[in-house]
Structure 1
Amino acid sequence: MLTCQKPLFSLPEAIHYLNGASMSPLLKSVEEAGIQGLLRKSQPHTIHQEDYFTDVDRVRQLFGQLVHVPYERVAIIPSVSYGMAIVAKNLNARPGQHILLVADEFPSDVYAWEEVCQTQAISLKTINRTGDGKSWNEAVLNAISEETALLMIAPIHWSDGTRFDIEALSKRCRETGTRFVLDGTQAVGALPLDLTEVSVDALIVGGYKWLLGTYGMGLAYFGPAFDEGRSIEQSWINRKGSDNFRLLMAYTTEFRPGASRYSMGEQSNFIQIPMLATALEQILAWTPEAVQAYSEALVRPHVPHWQELGFWIEAEAYRSSHLFGLRHEGLDMNRLRTELERHQVYISTRGTTLRIATHVYNEAADLEALTEALSASL
């Protein structure tokens, strides 16, 4: 079992930060990697041709280890919306088919399909929450058919941590010929995900939450369905032979192997790439399994008290411990805000849900402060 890792972060002692689902703090080691990268940019004569590729490939390898895929299938992206745009650009649906989503999905996972729905004469179909997590899972599974061109879902819902059975969903998508895409932004890094056990066509992950990286840098896995696909950008660095700067004028229509064609331009960010590599190295040293177990140990003792106070929380089998939601019909949000500020507790509100996010920088005192604030607000 991991012990509290707060000394590795720069969080002030007095605050109770339970909002990593919004934006994670940086590890001190990641801060230092960024500082060194900034100083390196001040000395451009120290940056060599191979440096445009070495650290990028290191990040791809580390992410490949994290989700158990070959690094050649990993692309560097700036955002989730960028990754979803790649999926949309390479979706070939039949007129009358639909894209399947769950209700209250993150906006980037909804807006991505507007244009493709218009151009290919397909529609969006949304599965509303029906009771508890078990019934919601069943509703999604039953909605997948041969008319489902694409299922886009997250392993856990971004607003309240409801878990979806991605193994069952993947199996059903294979049966119906449905393209299966995951938004792993609120899961990968804190929740185990092995893509050798779950077949997905694409996995899109923002890097500034559970990957402990920077804003504006993310990662994506693209499976065989995307091997000959169309990229968003026509970047020089993604083309075959781009590692030989002397021959860059020998233009080519061929791409570098694997998912490189989908990586963003200026992917060789000499500040952010080393930061992301350092963060991924630490996550792999901890392991997502240990991060989840640590969060579970923090959260479990408080669940009965929250329930006694009248808060709804998803059943244990259908919630994560690093991100979960609390709801209360009688909660005065203004009073809650006052109590959270008084106790120096940081969480998010998404719709009618209080979204709580725990990580290895949290300790028992953080959950105790949250419980005190919740109790006082009632």
Structure 2
Amino acid sequence: MNIEWGNVREQFPVLQEWVYLNSASFGPLPRCALEAMERHNRRRDEQACVDFVSWFDDADRVREMAAALIGAAPADIAFIPNTATALGWMVQGLKLKPGDRVVALEDEFPNNTYFGHVLARRGAEFVEVPLEGGEFSLDRFCAAIDARTRLVLMSAVNYSTGLRPPVEEIGDYLRRRGVGFYLDATQGLGALRLDVSRVQADVVAAHGYKWLLTPAGIGFAYVRPEVREWLEPCVYSWRSHKDWRQVDVLHHGPPELPAEAQKYEGGLQNFPGIYAMGAVLEMMLELGPAEIEKRVKELGECCREVLRKAGARLLCDRLSYYDSPILAAEFPGADASRLAVELRKQKVVVAARHGYLRVSPHFFNSEEDLERLGAALTGRSSP
């Protein structure tokens, strides 16, 4: 497929003024997402709830697109307001006992580590597998999985360093040992392909506001069919019955939960967010996840070269498993936070995380964006 990426950039008004290289913080909202929300809000303004039931039909079409993106079935997909919600489902559903072990990597995103520490207060053992010098070791990680291990918490891509663990190998190892696997795919999904049949996680969750380019407050989770057989919802609502679509008669007796993952969603959903996410997913599926990943990797390599020429030391140059669109750069003698502020004054948006300048290009970026980053870094004030 020959994609005119310059035409794709027209979906992103932010690029008219800014060199935006910070999708690992917030992805910019494309025009198609804004227009989808506006159409829904206008309908609500003009018709109130006359077409209320059709909103759920539209949401199911978005569910189908989310499933297509990750190689799942629509029945496996639940909408979520954030990834902490999906992680809460799994943590509460496992009913951990004192002495059960929960494992995560060192320097994980706080969502995962905070849950681990809270579980430790309740008697579980929380283990953070060290990254010696930032290096991930599959052998070291697997050695931390013992007979008491019930749950592994992991991100598909580390939010600050760009570490991309071999989640397919990890998922296979955990499945063979009967260990629960929760994967936060917020960092990466929308830029990198992910196939849930290969990852073999029990729950995969992604908040859409980063690489999926949605508003905050909407995302989706995959819940494996076998897990849905025992994982009970944390909340119940009028939709906690298989016949909930019969809205003219809502009293159906005791809850008879649907078999689909939507049973975890609770009541009414963030419909403006769902419509926005649907517009973005449609765009991404039309472009093709493989083409998007190819473009992101091309820009990532270009960005690495720009950063090297500007004097940066890159984690990905000395460590394995750092093939991701999140690039952590260290400039000797420079404070990363101050450098990020200085770049923003030149209309270049990046972030500072843990002493590194974090640069995160997405498919809408261009080689010219990266040249402007390089020029801004080369012309920066001396530390």
The CA distance in 2 between the partners of 1:108 and 1:334, in whole Å, is 23
The alpha-carbon deviation at position 174 of structure 1 amounts to 1.8
- Aligned partner of 2:245: which letter? D
**TM-score of the aligned structures, taking structure 1 as reference length:** 0.92
Identify the residue that residue 261 of structure 2 maps to in structure 1: 259
**289-298 vs 161-170, greater mean Cα deviation:** 289-298
Tell me the CA shift for residue 344 of structure 1.
1.0
SS at match of 1:237: coil
Residue 331 of structure 1 corresponds to 334
**Within 2, Cα distance between the matches of 1:143 and 1:296?**
32
Structure 2 CA distance for partners of 1:30 and 1:178, relative to 1, 3 Å: same
Q: What is the correspondence of 1:284-299 to structure 2 with a 5 Å cutoff?
A: 284-299=285-300
1:148 and 1:63 map into 2 onto residues whose CA distance is 31
Partner SS for 1:42: helix
**Contact kept? 2:351, 2:357, Cα under 8 Å:** yes
Q: Verify the 8 A CA contact 1:151 1:181 in the aligned structure 2.
A: yes
74-83 vs 225-234, which deviates more? 225-234
1:177 aligns with 178
Mapped partners of 1:175, 1:264: distance in 2: 32
Contact 1:99–1:151 under 8 Å retained in 2: yes
State the TM-score, normalized to the length of structure 2.
0.91
| Superposition map of 1:366-377 within 5 A | 366-377=369-380
Equivalent position of 1:55 in the other structure: 58
**CA shift for structure 1 position 32:** 0.7
1:59-96 Cα offsets, whole Å, 9 max, x none, are 21111111111111111111111111111111133532
The equivalences for 1:122-201 within 5 A come to 122-133=124-135, 135-201=136-202
Aligned partners of 1:264 and 1:159: how far apart in 2?
32
Whether contact under 8 Å (2:340, 2:349) holds in the other structure is no
Equivalent residues, number: 375
Q: Distance in 2 between matches of 1:288 and 1:154?
A: 20
Q: Aligned in 2, Cα 1:151/1:367: closer, same or farther, shift over 3 Å?
A: same
Q: Give, in angstroms, the shift of residue 141 of structure 1.
A: 3.0
What corresponds to 1:109 in structure 2? 112
Superposition misfits of 4+ residues, deviation over 4 angstroms: none
Q: Does 1:249 align with 2:251?
A: yes
Distance 1:147 1:291, change over 3 A: same
Shift of 1:335: 5.0
Deviation digits for residues 100-125 of structure 1, max 9, x if unmatched? 11122112222234444444x21211
C-alpha separation between the residues in 2 aligned to 1:310 and 1:301? 14
Pick the aligned partner of 1:230 from 226, 229, 232: 232
Match of 2:69 in 1: 66
- Equivalent residue for 1:40? 43
Whole-angstrom CA distance in 2 between matches of 1:349 and 1:297: 23
Which AA in structure 2 matches 1:282? M
Partner residue in 1 for 2:314: 312
1:279-307 per-residue CA deviation (whole Å, 9 max, x = no partner) reads 11111112232222112222323424533
- Structure 2, unaligned runs of 5 or more: none
**1:124 aligned partner, one-letter code:** F
In structure 2, the CA distance between the partners of 1:374 and 1:45, relative to structure 1 (3 Å rule), is closer
Q: Which moved more, 1:158-167 or 1:103-112?
A: 103-112
Amino acid at match of 2:23: G
CA distance in 1, matches of 2:337, 2:326: 23
Q: 2:27 aligns with which of 9, 24, 28?
A: 24
Q: Which moved more, 1:246-255 or 1:28-37?
A: 246-255
Matched, 1:85 2:88: yes
- The answer for the alignment partner of 2:16 in structure 1 is 13
Shift of 1:27: 1.4
CA RMSD of aligned residues (A): 2.1
Report the Cα distance in structure 1 between the residues aligned to 2:279 and 2:303, rounded to whole angstroms.
Answer: 33
Cα distance in 2, alignment partners of residues 293 and 86 from structure 1: 34
